[in-house]
């Protein structure tokens, strides 16, 4: 069940099994965060420019924002030699199957060798906490970057799967089988939007922030057919401030990079409440709020 165009969609959202919102947030300390190599265009001018103290203050504000929304964060310690480990959305895809009451994570296969060693660390972390830890088939030659590219449709067992830069499309065939879920594929066509979470931000079952420049016509049509109200984000806010890398943990508040004024305006017009956070140090590495956390059941 991997869908690549609107013509292929044979199921409606309301026919898919419901999925409760994940209620626990995992954060990773920026203890060793830095820009040490360039694996996406956002990093290219920023090697060695991270202000460590500022990054810590910004990270603490992200943690406080989650705590204020009643999601008491679980904190993982960042490891030395893994400067991108703070982006803890990427090493796993958490899942929950209400039918069998199974909670687990699928481990990523990072595209860049710089980030490979982050994965076993999170594997052990989740295993120690009683989660089922799944892997893609050994003989499958495919990259997969967890919730950088694979996003749950809020409220339903349906996955959105971005591919083109970090994740291979073949990974989604395997994931669909492993998790027994339909996957809607979206081809990413602009390197500034190298992960799906930089250009699509599902807010609730009906609403999503979308950077249209990141997709082809087929992808835009798929998004429009499954979200009743896609909210278009202006290119300058999505591309340079990663406005689509915000996160809506509760269907109401949207934690988002500060200064995305037009996006904030459009969120308010749709009854969402933007909660602005400054993640400027993390933008230097190509990430903002969404990829600085992992939501688990």
Provide the annotated active-site residues. 195, 291
Choosing from 28, 29, 90, 168, the residue that interacts with ligand ARG (CB under 6 A) is 90
* Beta carbon nearer to ligand ARG, 209 or 229: 209
Q: Can you tell me the distance from the alpha carbon of 139 to that of 147, in angstroms, rounded to the nearest whole number?
A: 22
Q: Nearest-5° angle of CA 248, CA 271, CA 275?
A: 45
Q: Are 162 and 191 a contacting pair, CB within 8 Å?
A: no
Does residue 144 interact with ligand ARG by CB under 6 A?
no
Site residues for ligand ARG, 158-177, by CB under 6 A, read none
What does the block give as tokens for 210?
A: 């979308």
Strand order of the β-sheet with 74-76 is 74-76, 24-28, 293-296
Q: Phi and psi of 225, rounded to 5°? A: -80, -25
Of these, 143, 192, 197, 204, which contacts ligand ARG (CB under 6 A)?
A: 197
Inter-residue contact 196 to 172 (CB < 8 Å): no
Among 19, 27, 39, 93, contact with ligand ARG (rule: CB under 6 A) = 39
Return the percent helix, strand and coil in the chain, to nearest 5. 35, 25, 45
The interface region with ligand ARG, picked from 36-44, 123-131, 156-164, 201-209 by CB under 6 A, is 36-44
For residues 173 and 197, which CB has a smaller minimum distance to ligand ARG in the complex? 197
CA–CA separation, 210 and 201 (whole Å): 7
Cβ nearer to ligand ARG, comparing 66 with 87: 87
**End-to-end Cα distance, the chain:** 24
- Find out whether 51 and 68 touch, Cβ atoms under 8 Å: no
Among 34, 84, 143, 264, binds ligand ARG (CB under 6 A): 84
Applying the rule CB under 6 A, the residues between 259 and 288 that interact with ligand ARG are: 285-287
- Among 22-30, 193-201, 209-217, 221-229, which window interacts with ligand ARG (CB under 6 A)? 193-201
Q: Least Å distance between CB 256 and ligand ARG?
A: 14
- Least distance between ligand ARG and beta carbon 197 (Å): 5
The alpha carbon dihedral of 111, 113, 114, 120 has a sign of: positive
When asked if residue 89 is in the footprint of ligand ARG (CB under 6 A), the reply is yes
- Considering the complex, what minimum distance in angstroms separates the CB of residue 290 from ligand ARG? 6
DSSP string, 154-203: TTBS-EEEEESSSS-THHHHHHHHHHT--EEEEEB--GGG-SGGGTEEE-
Shortest CB 203 distance to ligand ARG, Å: 17
**Given the rule CB under 6 A, which of 87-95, 119-127, 131-139, 230-238 is the region that contacts ligand ARG?**
87-95
291 forms part of the interface with ligand ARG (CB under 6 A): yes
Residues that bind ligand ARG (CB under 6 A): 39-40, 43, 84, 87, 89-90, 115, 148, 195, 197-198, 285-287, 291
């Amino acid at each position: 069940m991997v869908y690549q165009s609107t013509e292929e969609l044979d199921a409606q959202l309301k026919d898919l099994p419901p999925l409760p919102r994940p209620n626990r947030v995992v954060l990773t300390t920026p203890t060793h965060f830095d820009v040490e190599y360039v694996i996406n265009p956002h990093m290219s001018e920023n090697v060695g420019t991270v202000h460590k103290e500022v990054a810590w203050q910004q990270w603490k504000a992200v943690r406080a924002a989650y705590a204020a929304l009643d999601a008491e964060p679980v904190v993982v310690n960042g490891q030395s030699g893994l400067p991108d480990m703070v982006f803890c959305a990427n090493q796993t895809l958490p899942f929950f199957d209400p039918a069998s009451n199974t909670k687990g994570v699928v481990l990523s296969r990072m595209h860049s060798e710089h980030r490979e060693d982050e994965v076993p660390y999170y594997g052990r972390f989740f295993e120690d906490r009683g989660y089922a830890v799944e892997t893609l088939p050994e003989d499958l030659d495919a990259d997969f970057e967890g919730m950088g590219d694979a996003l749950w449709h809020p409220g339903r067992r349906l996955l959105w799967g971005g591919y083109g830069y970090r994740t291979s499309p073949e990974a989604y065939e395997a994931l669909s089988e492993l998790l027994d879920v339909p996957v809607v594929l979206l081809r990413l066509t602009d390197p500034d939007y190298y992960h799906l979470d930089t250009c699509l931000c599902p807010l609730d079952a009906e609403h999503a922030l979308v950077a249209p420049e990141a997709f082809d016509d087929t992808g835009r049509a798929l998004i429009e057919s499954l979200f009743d109200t896609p909210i278009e984000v202006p290119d300058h806010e999505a591309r340079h401030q990663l406005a689509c890398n915000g996160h809506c943990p509760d269907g109401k508040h949207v934690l988002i990079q500060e200064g995305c004024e037009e996006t904030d305006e459009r969120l308010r017009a749709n009854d969402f409440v933007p909660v602005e956070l400054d993640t400027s140090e993390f933008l230097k590495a190509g990430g903002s709020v969404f990829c600085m956390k992992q939501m688990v059941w």
